[in-house]
Amino acid sequence: MKIYVAHSSSFDYMQELYAPLRNSELNAQHMIFLPHETDARMNTKEAIEKSDLVIAEVSYPSTGEGIELGWADGFHKPILCVHKAGMEPSNSLKVISNTILAYSDAADLISKIEDYLSHA
Q: Which pLDDT score is estimated for 28?
A: 96
pLDDT digits over 65-94, tens only? 999 999 999 999 999 999 999 999 999 999
Residue 79, CA distances (Å) to 38, 52, 68, 72, 75 in order: 23, 9, 11, 7, 11
For residues 75 and 91, what is the distance between their CA atoms, to the nearest angstrom?
Answer: 21
Share of the chain above pLDDT 70, in %: 100
pLDDT, mean of residues 31-36: 95
- First-residue to last-residue Cα distance in the chain: 11
What is the set of domains in the chain, with CATH numbers? 2-119 (3.40.50.450)
Q: Which pLDDT score is estimated for 51?
A: 98
